[in-house]
């Protein structure tokens, strides 16, 4: 094959959005042919959703198990890689891939990188970019001497393809395997703040410029009045002032659907800017005229965020 093999991810009969994001990332790899494999009890049901521009083939792999099992997936994906010999294998950086991807790469000597948020081919060489040292630096990883490389990509980073296509559909028979684990029950995670920042079209985001946790409430009220989703930069989430689900940035969520992003008291660290790269209109409010956030903002206000917030409240 010598192309790109994407491993789609489904959970309890639903295709996860990251699967289409992986297909978007595959298209950035220099025109290599793209095949996507879906492993499930009834994989044919996912073929229409995966039939998007850029996909040459959808491979259905029928499994007897209803829930994810690491041994089964390692065996099936490993057999598929050996049969197709792809240059690059893309999968989600998720709780599922944590269970088998590293073991698969180590067992067969494949190149491997996790939590990748940028992938490209430069001079014919594959380069993957991931965070390092607690996301303080970006690390470029290459894979000399590796014929096959497995990359686990961060969700909410890559744009999914738009439109429909008619790829070839084929079936692959996974080898039988005796699993070392047994799934007994699926338990939903406990409830809480389940906001999805990646789907919000209007975000009002706050940064360390708010000063103290007591100030969060007034910006929450302002966001509600404006019809915006309240987001934040990493220092706010790390301090526990807002849930981690509301963090926008390299180690948080990407505002991939956002059309208007208002950043108040956000300095514009490179990690935060990585979460805003798909936003067309950014409005920044900061007292520091040299703040990095102004380098990406379409509109900027050098001023006190509390005064600006009060003016907005008067009008809404």
Cβ–Cβ under 8 Å, residues 96 and 155: no
Residues counted in the chain: 316
Cβ–Cβ under 8 Å, residues 90 and 153: yes
Task: List the chain domain ranges.
Answer: 4-172, 197-315
Encoding tokens for residue 53?
């521009």
C-alpha torsion angle, residues 128, 132, 134, 135 (rounded to 10): -50
Cβ–Cβ under 8 Å, residues 296 and 282: yes
Encoding tokens for residue 180?
């070392």
The pLDDT, as a whole number, for residue 192 is 56
With a CB cutoff of 8 Å and minimum separation 6, the contacts of 58 are: 35, 36, 37, 38, 47, 50, 51, 167, 168, 169, 170
Helices (H), 144-205: none
Point out which residues pair with 279 in neighbouring strands.
Answer: none
Arch. (CATH architecture) of 4-172: 3-Layer(aba) Sandwich (3.40)
Cβ–Cβ under 8 Å, residues 110 and 86: no
Encoding tokens for residue 64?
């007897």
Q: Is residue 215 classed exposed, middle or buried when 0-12, 13-18 and 19+ CB atoms within 10 A define those classes? A: middle
What does the pLDDT profile of the chain (316 residues) look like in tens digits?
Answer: 579 999 999 988 889 888 999 999 998 887 789 999 999 999 999 999 999 999 999 999 999 888 888 999 999 999 999 999 999 999 999 889 999 999 999 999 999 999 898 999 888 889 999 888 766 678 899 999 999 999 999 887 888 898 999 999 999 998 888 888 877 777 766 555 668 888 889 999 999 999 999 999 999 999 999 999 999 999 999 999 999 889 998 777 778 788 999 999 999 887 788 778 778 899 999 999 999 899 999 999 999 999 999 999 888 7
Sign for the CA dihedral angle at 37, 42, 44, 50 comes to: negative
The pLDDT, as a whole number, for residue 141 is 93
The pLDDT, as a whole number, for residue 121 is 87
The pLDDT, as a whole number, for residue 157 is 81
Q: Calculate the CA 222 to chain-centre distance.
A: 28
Q: Is 305 helix (H, G, I), strand (E, B) or coil?
A: helix
197-315 has the same fold as 4-172: yes
The pLDDT, as a whole number, for residue 278 is 76
Helices (H), 121-231: 216-226
Pairing of β 202-206 and β 125-132: unpaired
Category of 250 on φ-ψ map: left (φ > 0), alpha (ψ -120 to 50) or beta: alpha
Say which CATH class 197-315 falls into.
alpha beta
Helices (H), the chain: 18-26, 47-50, 70-84, 95-98, 101-108, 216-226, 234-238, 270-273, 305-315
């Amino acid at each position: 094959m010598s192309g790109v093999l994407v491993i789609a991810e489904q959970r309890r009969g639903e295709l996860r959005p990251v699967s289409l994001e992986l297909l978007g990332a595959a298209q950035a790899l220099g025109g290599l042919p793209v095949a996507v494999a879906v492993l499930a009890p009834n994989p044919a049901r996912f073929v229409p959703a995966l039939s998007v521009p850029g996909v040459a083939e959808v491979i259905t792999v029928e499994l007897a198990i209803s829930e994810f099992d690491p041994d089964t997936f390692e065996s099936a994906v490993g057999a598929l890689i050996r049969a197709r010999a792809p240059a690059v294998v893309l999968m989600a950086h998720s709780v599922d891939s944590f269970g088998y991807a590293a073991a698969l790469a180590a067992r067969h000597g494949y190149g491997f990188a996790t939590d990748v948020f940028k992938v490209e081919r430069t001079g014919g060489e594959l380069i993957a970019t991931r965070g390092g040292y607690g996301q303080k630096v970006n690390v470029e990883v290459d894979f000399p001497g590796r014929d096959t490389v497995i990359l686990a990509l961060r969700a909410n980073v890559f744009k999914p393809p738009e439109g429909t296509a008619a790829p070839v559909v084929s079936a692959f028979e996974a080898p039988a395997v005796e699993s070392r684990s047994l799934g007994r029950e699926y338990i939903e995670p406990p409830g809480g703040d389940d906001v999805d920042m990646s789907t919000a079209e209007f975000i009002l985001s706050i940064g360390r410029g708010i000063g103290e946790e007591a100030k969060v409430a007034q910006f929450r009220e302002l966001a509600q009045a404006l019809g915006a989703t309240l987001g934040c930069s990493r220092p706010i989430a790390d301090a526990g002032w807002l849930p981690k689900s509301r963090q926008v940035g390299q180690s948080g969520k990407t505002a991939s659907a956002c059309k208007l992003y208002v950043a108040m008291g956000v300095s514009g660290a490179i990690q935060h800017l990585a979460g805003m790269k798909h936003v067309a209109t950014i409005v920044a409010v900061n007292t520091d005229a040299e703040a990095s956030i102004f380098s990406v903002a379409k509109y900027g206000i050098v001023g006190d965020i509390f005064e600006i917030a009060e003016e907005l409240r008067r009008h809404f």
